[in-house]
Amino acid sequence: MDLITRENPARVDEVVGSVPVTDPAAVDAAVRRADDAFPDWSGLTVAERVAALRRGADTVAARLEELAPLLARESGKPLADSRGEIGFAVTFLRWVCDEAPAVLAATEIDDDAGRLVVRRKPYGVVGCVTPWNAPVILAVLKLGPALAAGNTVVLKPSPLAPLTVTEVAAALPAVQVVHGGAETGRALAGHPLVRKVAFTGGDAAGREIAAAAGAMITPAVLELGGNDPAVFLPDFALSGADYERLVMASFATGGQVCMAAKRLYVPRARIAEFTEAYLAAAERVLVVGDPLDPGVTMGPVISAAAAARIRALVAGAAGGTAGGTVTPLGRSAPGHDPASGYFVTPCLVTGLDDHAPLVAQEQFGPAVPLLAYDTEGEVLARANAGELGLAASVWSADEERAFALAGRLSAGFVFVNTHNRTGMSLRAPFGGVKRSGYGREYGREGLLEYVQSAVVHVPAAFRPGGPGMAPGAYPGGVHDEIPRAAGTVQPPP
């Protein structure tokens, strides 16, 4: 049996665990098991389904202190963040359980126009393909709503962080888990019995998943990457704590977050002041080291390939015609050995133009460019440049001014005076525009992604005693006539 073996990215000679590879035939079997389970699971009431989900959430919560070190060891995420991610996943599941009964309830109108019932019906089997950077919460964002709505699920986690999420999925009802790389993902997304696909990940993988689903005319939710700008208006007023929060908005999880602050736009007249405060904040809060060590706030990146890619971006920004200046940030934890794993020194890069790859591309790592601007119109155009439009932020002492600019940014989610996870809300739908994907997670919209409306309707004209309607009549009182045959028309009613 082929195995996926996961090493600790902070100590690459340590094997954390392994999972078996699921070949296409086994993917087929898993989907068919999920399809067989669908009638019974969808036949339960919403109340019965959320009760089962709540029990699953309680099981995960009870295992938090056991699962958090596993997540830290397989992903390189600091232990405190690992606890936070699993705890937030539990919070989200419980929120789904609270909200689902009302959101998924049927609606009925019975009035002079007739009787209309709209029910929320599940799709069937949902295929979920999830990434490694926040493996638990990004899986649960799909599992919770899909299961509450009555779907069964086949989940394929990333081979770079498969262990903790498999344990979490095992606590939930009506979930099958498969493992593998691109071949496994394509087999799942393109399976004829999968009725909806949910994916979070990079652009290249997203295109493959969308193509496989599209070949079967299977609808999808795609949350892809972002090159998220943070725009500081001339009146911004940041405290030391605000700067600390801003630093972590870029460097949490080693910068490997789709909605991290990836481009910092600051008025030219305030760039020196901003830089000084930002460097000081980074020195206070950015501590690089082994994720299991107390006080560490940034661990390694996920793999040797990721480390090499990020270092090449930074080297390119500092060399040749780019002319950038690279300033290392933060400090190392006592006794930290960078050679023990896939560690990349976090840095702030200045002096680049918008065409430099570090600016124009999503870095997905611990390097962020600081860019000066002169006018609001200019910064708006620069922030909106490019094909990605996931998130953005606007920082200003004037909330109305911030909201006005936010409304003109090409992003699916705009934070005000914060960025990244500190700006999220369970009630706020999240997702991108342009090439950053489609569909939404969180909020009412995130629940409704996993149901289809199913309508039963009788117009008043066809209820007992109703007057009826002519065969060619339009609804709503429009009675344009349709010829019965050439040269004849129906008489008006």
State the number of CA atoms in the 13 A half-sphere of 183 facing the CB: 7
Give φ, ψ of 460 to 5 degrees. Answer: -55, -30
The answer to whether residue 347 is catalytic is no
Q: Give which of 108, 120, 60, 111 is closest to 87, Cα–Cα.
A: 60
CA 318 to CA 303: how far, in whole Å?
Answer: 23
Angle formed by the axes of helices 135-148 and 163-170, nearest 10°: 30
- Local structure of residue 436 (DSSP, 8 states): T
Dist. CA 389–CA 226, nearest whole Å: 6
Known catalytic residue: 362? no
The residue ranges of DSSP E strands in 320-459, in sequence order, are 325-328, 331-332, 347-350, 367-373, 388-389, 391-395, 413-416, 433-434, 437-438, 451-459
Q: Tell me how far apart the alpha carbons of residues 184 and 29 are, in angstroms, rounded to a whole number.
A: 12
As a whole number of angstroms, the distance between CA 364 and CA 205 comes to: 15
Cα gap 347→352, rounded to integer Å: 14
Nearest to 22 by CA among 146, 126, 178: 178
Which of 157, 145, 159, 160 lies closest to 196, judged by CA?
145
Whole-number Å distance between alpha carbons of 77 and 464: 65
Residue tagged active-site, from 7, 74, 85, 223: 223
Taking the C-alpha atoms of residue 140 and residue 130, their distance in angstroms, rounded to an integer, is: 10
DSSP for residue 432: -
Which member of 74, 128, 244, 258 is catalytic? 258
CA distance 392 to 83: 26
In this structure, are residues 173 and 41 in contact, taking their beta carbons and an 8 Å threshold? yes
**Catalytic amino acids?**
223, 258
